[in-house]
Amino acid sequence: MTTSAHMTTGAVAAPGRARTATATATVRRKQGFQHGGWFIAPFLALFVLFVIWPLLRGVWLSFTDANISGDDASFVGLDNYREALHDSAMWDALGHSAYFTLLVVPCITVLAFLLAMLAHHIERGKWLWRLCFFVPFLLPSTVAANMFQWLFTQGIGLVNETFGLDTPWLTDKSYAMLAIVIETLWWTVGFSFLLYLAALQGIPGHLYEAAKLDGANAWHRMVHITLPMLRNITGLVIALQILASLQLFDQAVVMMDFGPGPEVSTRSFVQYTLEQGFTSYRVGYASAMSIIFFVIIAVVALARMWLLRNREESGR
Protein backbone atom coordinates (compact mmCIF):
# COMPACT_ATOMS: atom_id res chain seq x y z
CA MET A 1 0.00 0.00 0.00
CA THR A 2 2.72 2.47 0.98
CA THR A 3 4.79 1.63 -2.09
CA SER A 4 1.81 2.05 -4.36
CA ALA A 5 1.02 5.41 -2.78
CA HIS A 6 4.55 6.64 -3.30
CA MET A 7 4.53 5.48 -6.93
CA THR A 8 1.21 7.23 -7.56
CA THR A 9 2.43 10.43 -5.93
CA GLY A 10 5.66 10.34 -7.99
CA ALA A 11 3.74 9.73 -11.23
CA VAL A 12 1.48 12.70 -10.50
CA ALA A 13 4.38 14.95 -9.46
CA ALA A 14 6.48 14.18 -12.54
CA PRO A 15 4.09 15.82 -15.04
CA GLY A 16 3.73 18.74 -12.64
CA ARG A 17 7.49 19.25 -12.52
CA ALA A 18 7.66 18.97 -16.31
CA ARG A 19 4.99 21.63 -16.74
CA THR A 20 6.77 23.87 -14.26
CA ALA A 21 10.09 23.46 -16.09
CA THR A 22 8.42 24.17 -19.43
CA ALA A 23 6.74 27.29 -18.06
CA THR A 24 10.03 28.48 -16.57
CA ALA A 25 11.85 27.94 -19.88
CA THR A 26 9.11 29.84 -21.72
CA VAL A 27 9.39 32.77 -19.32
CA ARG A 28 13.16 32.84 -19.74
CA ARG A 29 12.86 32.81 -23.54
CA LYS A 30 10.41 35.69 -23.41
CA GLN A 31 12.71 37.64 -21.14
CA GLY A 32 15.61 36.88 -23.48
CA PHE A 33 13.64 38.15 -26.48
CA GLN A 34 12.69 41.28 -24.57
CA HIS A 35 16.24 42.03 -23.51
CA GLY A 36 17.64 41.14 -26.93
CA GLY A 37 15.10 43.40 -28.59
CA TRP A 38 16.64 46.43 -26.93
CA PHE A 39 20.03 45.51 -28.36
CA ILE A 40 18.82 45.15 -31.95
CA ALA A 41 16.40 48.10 -31.80
CA PRO A 42 19.01 50.71 -32.91
CA PHE A 43 20.00 48.57 -35.90
CA LEU A 44 16.38 47.93 -36.86
CA ALA A 45 15.59 51.65 -36.63
CA LEU A 46 18.52 52.57 -38.89
CA PHE A 47 17.72 49.68 -41.26
CA VAL A 48 14.14 50.82 -41.66
CA LEU A 49 15.16 54.46 -42.01
CA PHE A 50 17.96 54.02 -44.54
CA VAL A 51 17.00 50.79 -46.37
CA ILE A 52 13.34 49.85 -46.11
CA TRP A 53 11.89 53.37 -46.35
CA PRO A 54 14.07 54.45 -49.34
CA LEU A 55 13.19 51.19 -51.08
CA LEU A 56 9.45 51.70 -50.58
CA ARG A 57 9.78 55.35 -51.55
CA GLY A 58 11.66 54.38 -54.69
CA VAL A 59 8.98 51.86 -55.65
CA TRP A 60 6.31 54.54 -55.30
CA LEU A 61 8.32 57.13 -57.29
CA SER A 62 8.83 54.61 -60.09
CA PHE A 63 5.08 54.81 -60.78
CA THR A 64 5.12 58.61 -61.01
CA ASP A 65 6.61 61.35 -63.19
CA ALA A 66 8.48 62.88 -60.24
CA ASN A 67 11.37 65.21 -60.99
CA ILE A 68 14.17 66.63 -58.91
CA SER A 69 12.67 70.12 -58.85
CA GLY A 70 10.11 69.00 -56.29
CA ASP A 71 7.01 69.70 -58.38
CA ASP A 72 3.90 67.69 -57.67
CA ALA A 73 4.27 64.19 -59.11
CA SER A 74 1.51 62.50 -61.08
CA PHE A 75 0.79 58.79 -61.10
CA VAL A 76 1.75 57.32 -64.49
CA GLY A 77 1.41 53.61 -63.74
CA LEU A 78 3.81 51.37 -65.65
CA ASP A 79 4.82 54.01 -68.20
CA ASN A 80 8.32 54.38 -66.75
CA TYR A 81 8.88 50.63 -66.88
CA ARG A 82 7.63 50.40 -70.45
CA GLU A 83 9.95 53.21 -71.49
CA ALA A 84 12.89 51.62 -69.70
CA LEU A 85 12.37 48.27 -71.37
CA HIS A 86 12.43 50.01 -74.77
CA ASP A 87 15.37 52.31 -73.93
CA SER A 88 18.33 51.19 -76.04
CA ALA A 89 20.71 53.37 -74.02
CA MET A 90 19.70 51.57 -70.84
CA TRP A 91 20.32 48.17 -72.39
CA ASP A 92 23.70 49.37 -73.68
CA ALA A 93 24.63 50.52 -70.18
CA LEU A 94 23.51 47.17 -68.76
CA GLY A 95 25.60 45.45 -71.41
CA HIS A 96 28.65 47.47 -70.38
CA SER A 97 28.14 46.45 -66.76
CA ALA A 98 27.73 42.80 -67.75
CA TYR A 99 30.83 42.94 -69.98
CA PHE A 100 32.84 44.45 -67.13
CA THR A 101 31.58 41.71 -64.81
CA LEU A 102 32.56 38.96 -67.25
CA LEU A 103 36.08 40.38 -67.44
CA VAL A 104 36.61 41.07 -63.75
CA VAL A 105 35.07 38.08 -61.94
CA PRO A 106 37.20 35.25 -63.45
CA CYS A 107 40.38 37.33 -63.23
CA ILE A 108 39.85 38.30 -59.59
CA THR A 109 38.92 34.75 -58.61
CA VAL A 110 42.04 33.22 -60.15
CA LEU A 111 44.37 36.03 -59.09
CA ALA A 112 43.11 36.04 -55.50
CA PHE A 113 43.60 32.27 -55.28
CA LEU A 114 47.15 32.45 -56.63
CA LEU A 115 48.10 35.30 -54.30
CA ALA A 116 46.62 33.44 -51.34
CA MET A 117 48.58 30.31 -52.23
CA LEU A 118 51.77 32.37 -52.44
CA ALA A 119 51.18 34.14 -49.13
CA HIS A 120 50.22 30.87 -47.45
CA HIS A 121 53.23 28.82 -48.51
CA ILE A 122 55.97 31.43 -48.52
CA GLU A 123 58.34 30.97 -45.60
CA ARG A 124 59.87 34.40 -45.00
CA GLY A 125 58.11 37.74 -44.73
CA LYS A 126 54.58 36.36 -44.67
CA TRP A 127 53.18 39.44 -42.95
CA LEU A 128 54.74 41.73 -45.57
CA TRP A 129 53.26 39.81 -48.50
CA ARG A 130 49.83 39.72 -46.89
CA LEU A 131 50.01 43.43 -46.15
CA CYS A 132 51.02 44.31 -49.72
CA PHE A 133 48.23 42.23 -51.23
CA PHE A 134 45.51 43.56 -48.94
CA VAL A 135 46.39 47.24 -48.45
CA PRO A 136 45.05 48.46 -51.85
CA PHE A 137 41.57 47.33 -50.83
CA LEU A 138 41.66 49.80 -47.94
CA LEU A 139 42.07 52.77 -50.27
CA PRO A 140 38.99 54.87 -51.10
CA SER A 141 37.68 54.20 -54.59
CA THR A 142 38.39 57.76 -55.75
CA VAL A 143 42.01 57.57 -54.61
CA ALA A 144 42.64 54.31 -56.45
CA ALA A 145 40.87 55.61 -59.58
CA ASN A 146 42.84 58.87 -59.58
CA MET A 147 46.10 56.95 -59.23
CA PHE A 148 45.36 54.83 -62.27
CA GLN A 149 44.07 57.79 -64.22
CA TRP A 150 47.55 59.29 -63.94
CA LEU A 151 49.18 55.95 -64.72
CA PHE A 152 47.15 55.51 -67.92
CA THR A 153 47.21 59.12 -69.15
CA GLN A 154 48.61 59.19 -72.66
CA GLY A 155 51.89 61.05 -73.00
CA ILE A 156 52.75 61.37 -69.31
CA GLY A 157 51.39 58.12 -67.84
CA LEU A 158 53.85 55.75 -66.17
CA VAL A 159 52.43 52.70 -67.98
CA ASN A 160 53.18 54.01 -71.48
CA GLU A 161 56.52 55.50 -70.40
CA THR A 162 57.66 52.26 -68.76
CA PHE A 163 56.77 49.94 -71.63
CA GLY A 164 57.45 52.37 -74.46
CA LEU A 165 53.82 52.51 -75.56
CA ASP A 166 51.60 55.23 -76.94
CA THR A 167 48.28 53.58 -76.10
CA PRO A 168 45.27 55.90 -75.63
CA TRP A 169 44.00 54.02 -72.60
CA LEU A 170 41.41 56.56 -71.50
CA THR A 171 40.41 58.08 -74.84
CA ASP A 172 39.83 55.02 -77.04
CA LYS A 173 36.85 52.74 -76.55
CA SER A 174 39.02 49.75 -77.38
CA TYR A 175 41.15 50.30 -74.26
CA ALA A 176 39.00 52.33 -71.84
CA MET A 177 37.15 49.38 -70.32
CA LEU A 178 40.37 47.39 -70.10
CA ALA A 179 41.97 50.22 -68.11
CA ILE A 180 39.05 50.19 -65.66
CA VAL A 181 39.32 46.39 -65.33
CA ILE A 182 43.04 46.60 -64.53
CA GLU A 183 42.42 49.28 -61.90
CA THR A 184 39.60 47.22 -60.36
CA LEU A 185 41.75 44.10 -60.17
CA TRP A 186 44.52 45.94 -58.32
CA TRP A 187 42.11 47.74 -56.02
CA THR A 188 39.68 44.96 -55.02
CA VAL A 189 41.60 41.68 -55.25
CA GLY A 190 42.69 42.06 -51.61
CA PHE A 191 39.25 41.22 -50.25
CA SER A 192 38.97 37.93 -52.14
CA PHE A 193 42.61 37.22 -51.33
CA LEU A 194 41.80 37.49 -47.63
CA LEU A 195 38.86 35.09 -47.95
CA TYR A 196 41.00 32.51 -49.75
CA LEU A 197 43.84 32.90 -47.27
CA ALA A 198 41.54 32.28 -44.32
CA ALA A 199 40.09 29.22 -46.06
CA LEU A 200 43.56 27.84 -46.82
CA GLN A 201 44.54 28.14 -43.19
CA GLY A 202 41.49 26.10 -42.26
CA ILE A 203 42.43 23.05 -44.35
CA PRO A 204 43.71 20.27 -42.03
CA GLY A 205 47.42 19.67 -42.49
CA HIS A 206 47.12 15.90 -42.07
CA LEU A 207 45.39 15.68 -45.47
CA TYR A 208 48.52 16.94 -47.20
CA GLU A 209 50.75 14.70 -45.08
CA ALA A 210 48.70 11.65 -46.02
CA ALA A 211 48.83 12.64 -49.69
CA LYS A 212 52.61 13.02 -49.54
CA LEU A 213 52.91 9.54 -48.04
CA ASP A 214 50.85 8.23 -50.96
CA GLY A 215 53.27 9.86 -53.41
CA ALA A 216 51.10 12.79 -54.52
CA ASN A 217 53.09 15.73 -55.88
CA ALA A 218 52.27 19.41 -55.34
CA TRP A 219 50.00 19.60 -58.40
CA HIS A 220 47.96 16.55 -57.36
CA ARG A 221 47.63 17.88 -53.82
CA MET A 222 46.30 21.17 -55.10
CA VAL A 223 43.85 19.56 -57.54
CA HIS A 224 42.56 16.80 -55.26
CA ILE A 225 42.74 18.50 -51.85
CA THR A 226 43.05 22.28 -52.02
CA LEU A 227 40.56 23.06 -54.77
CA PRO A 228 37.79 20.74 -53.47
CA MET A 229 38.23 22.11 -49.95
CA LEU A 230 37.92 25.66 -51.31
CA ARG A 231 34.82 24.97 -53.38
CA ASN A 232 32.43 26.80 -51.06
CA ILE A 233 34.68 29.83 -50.62
CA THR A 234 35.15 30.00 -54.39
CA GLY A 235 31.38 30.11 -54.84
CA LEU A 236 31.18 32.89 -52.26
CA VAL A 237 33.95 34.89 -53.96
CA ILE A 238 32.30 34.57 -57.37
CA ALA A 239 28.90 35.59 -56.03
CA LEU A 240 30.25 38.62 -54.15
CA GLN A 241 32.30 39.75 -57.12
CA ILE A 242 29.36 39.44 -59.51
CA LEU A 243 27.18 41.56 -57.25
CA ALA A 244 29.94 44.15 -56.79
CA SER A 245 30.96 44.28 -60.46
CA LEU A 246 27.42 44.76 -61.71
CA GLN A 247 27.34 47.93 -59.59
CA LEU A 248 30.30 49.46 -61.42
CA PHE A 249 30.34 53.22 -60.89
CA ASP A 250 33.11 54.93 -58.91
CA GLN A 251 36.19 53.90 -60.86
CA ALA A 252 34.54 54.37 -64.25
CA VAL A 253 33.31 57.86 -63.42
CA VAL A 254 36.55 59.10 -61.85
CA MET A 255 38.91 57.63 -64.43
CA MET A 256 36.83 59.07 -67.26
CA ASP A 257 36.83 62.58 -65.73
CA PHE A 258 33.39 62.32 -64.13
CA GLY A 259 31.53 61.35 -67.26
CA PRO A 260 30.96 58.41 -69.61
CA GLY A 261 34.05 57.16 -71.38
CA PRO A 262 34.89 57.44 -75.07
CA GLU A 263 31.68 57.13 -77.04
CA VAL A 264 29.93 56.11 -73.77
CA SER A 265 31.57 52.68 -74.01
CA THR A 266 32.23 52.68 -70.25
CA ARG A 267 28.88 54.03 -69.08
CA SER A 268 27.50 51.54 -66.57
CA PHE A 269 23.91 50.91 -65.59
CA VAL A 270 24.32 52.75 -62.29
CA GLN A 271 25.91 55.73 -64.03
CA TYR A 272 23.12 55.94 -66.59
CA THR A 273 20.54 55.79 -63.79
CA LEU A 274 22.20 58.70 -62.02
CA GLU A 275 22.30 60.68 -65.26
CA GLN A 276 18.58 60.24 -65.68
CA GLY A 277 17.87 61.23 -62.10
CA PHE A 278 20.30 64.12 -61.54
CA THR A 279 21.13 65.36 -65.05
CA SER A 280 17.82 64.90 -66.83
CA TYR A 281 15.93 65.43 -63.53
CA ARG A 282 13.68 62.42 -64.21
CA VAL A 283 13.49 60.96 -60.72
CA GLY A 284 10.50 58.75 -61.51
CA TYR A 285 12.19 57.19 -64.52
CA ALA A 286 15.47 56.75 -62.63
CA SER A 287 13.54 55.06 -59.81
CA ALA A 288 12.00 52.61 -62.27
CA MET A 289 15.46 51.78 -63.60
CA SER A 290 16.70 51.30 -60.05
CA ILE A 291 13.90 48.83 -59.32
CA ILE A 292 14.72 46.92 -62.51
CA PHE A 293 18.36 46.76 -61.44
CA PHE A 294 17.33 45.67 -57.95
CA VAL A 295 15.36 42.78 -59.47
CA ILE A 296 18.39 41.76 -61.55
CA ILE A 297 20.66 41.77 -58.49
CA ALA A 298 18.06 39.80 -56.50
CA VAL A 299 17.78 37.18 -59.25
CA VAL A 300 21.57 36.75 -59.29
CA ALA A 301 21.68 36.37 -55.50
CA LEU A 302 18.78 33.88 -55.45
CA ALA A 303 20.35 31.88 -58.28
CA ARG A 304 23.55 31.60 -56.27
CA MET A 305 21.62 30.42 -53.22
CA TRP A 306 19.71 27.86 -55.31
CA LEU A 307 22.91 26.49 -56.86
CA LEU A 308 24.59 26.27 -53.45
CA ARG A 309 21.63 24.44 -51.93
CA ASN A 310 21.49 21.95 -54.82
CA ARG A 311 25.23 21.37 -54.50
CA GLU A 312 24.92 20.68 -50.77
CA GLU A 313 21.98 18.33 -51.33
CA SER A 314 23.81 16.46 -54.07
CA GLY A 315 26.85 16.20 -51.79
CA ARG A 316 24.77 14.50 -49.16
Please state which CATH number belongs to domain 96-265: 1.10.3720.10
Whether 11 shows a pLDDT value over 80: the answer reads: no
pLDDT in tens, 84-125: 999 999 999 999 999 999 999 999 999 999 999 999 988 888
> What pLDDT, on the 0 to 100 scale, is given for residue 291?
95
Q: In whole angstroms, give the CA distance from residue 237 to residue 242.
A: 9
Residue 8 has pLDDT above 60, yes or no: no
Which tens digit of pLDDT belongs to each residue from 161-170? 988 888 999 9
Higher confidence at residue 110 or residue 34?
Answer: 110
- pLDDT by residue (tens digit) across 127-143? 888 999 999 999 999 99
When comparing pLDDT for 250 and 73, which is higher? 250
Across 150-160, average pLDDT? 90
Nearest-10 crossing angle of helices 173-201, 126-134: 140
- pLDDT for position 241: 94
pLDDT of residue 4: 52
Q: Provide the percentage of residues in the chain whose pLDDT is more than 90.
A: 60
Q: How far apart are CA 47 and CA 164, in angstroms?
A: 52
Quote the radius of gyration of the chain (alpha carbons, Å). Answer: 28
Q: What is residue 39's predicted lDDT score, i.e. its pLDDT?
A: 80
Phi/psi for 139 (5° steps) reads -75, 145
C-alpha to C-alpha distance for 250 and 252, rounded to whole angstroms: 6
Mean pLDDT throughout 37-43? 83
Which CA distances in Å does 89 have to 14, 68, 83, 146, 212? 74, 21, 11, 27, 57
